[in-house]
A = this chain, B = another copy of it.
Amino acid sequence: MNIKDLLRDAYLLQLKDGFFTVKSLSKLIKRSYSRTFSILKELQRKNYVKSLEKRNKGETRYIVDEKGRRRFKVILTAGTYDIIHTGHLKTLEEAKRRGDVLIVIVARDKTVEKIKGRRPIIPENQRRTIVQSLKPVDFAILGSEKDFLEPIEKINPDLIVLGRDQPVNKRKLEKELRKRGLECKVVRLRVWDSSPLAKTSKIIKKINETFHISNI
């Protein structure tokens, strides 16, 4: 296993649990405890990971250090993902291809209401659960209701990916990021799904047509 894959796997555990241990990493990379222990010692020697101060008698907790973090690429994207369709999936798969870890910020109900004038059909927690369950997605979190840059600042991604039709001004976003000292790039994807029902608005239209007529 190469160092990049190891560090990425360790980082995925850290996203979920806040840290990783020999045990949790050993389970994820399917290597023995002793093998994982010696791998981890080597990564620590190279300053790729560091141990956290022991707070109790439990296992030593580790996190990926700044030098280790620079060995893999974290991609960030965001959206409402109200009714999941192949258009979403295609964008997420393409976003994942741009790097090693894909983190998705799922818009809060209140934020969508502010922008679109109505809440999404599916509540935020269920939307987050579905996005988290998609194979290209490593980690899905809910956005902030107050400051949309807050989770981006915390994650400090290498690249932010915007969907083809995402109503976000790329330049304005870059300006905002620079103000906070974030150096990450922003790209807008060109991929799209030409399948007949790969847009939420089309799905909603078809549902209305189908059930409006048949229910009267």
Contacts and interface: CB of A to CB of B under 8 A. Distances in A.
Interface stretch (A47-55, A58-66, A160-168, A203-211): A203-211
A208 to B, nearest CB: 6
Contact of A123 (B1, B135, B197, B207): B197
Nearest to A119: B210
Contacts of A212: 208, 212
B203 A123 contact: no
A90 to B, nearest CB: 9
Interface stretch (A79-87, A142-150, A179-187): A79-87
A133 B130 contact: no
A207 B207 contact: yes
A136 interface: yes
A123 B202 CA distance: 13
A73 to B, nearest CB: 19
Interface string A144-177: 0000000000000000000000000000000000
B203 A121 contact: yes
Contacts of A83: 83, 203
B197 A130 contact: no
A195 B126 contact: yes
Contact of A207 (B30, B86, B208, B214): B208
Nearest to A126: B86
A63 B56 CA distance: 49
Given A134-B135, A204-B207, A204-B211, 20 more contacts: A83-B83, A83-B203, A84-B84, A84-B130, A86-B126, A86-B129, A118-B214, A121-B197, A121-B206, A121-B207, A122-B197, A122-B203, A123-B196, A125-B195, A126-B195, A126-B197, A135-B135, A208-B208, A208-B212, A212-B212
5 contacts: A83-B83, A84-B84, A89-B133, A126-B197, A204-B211
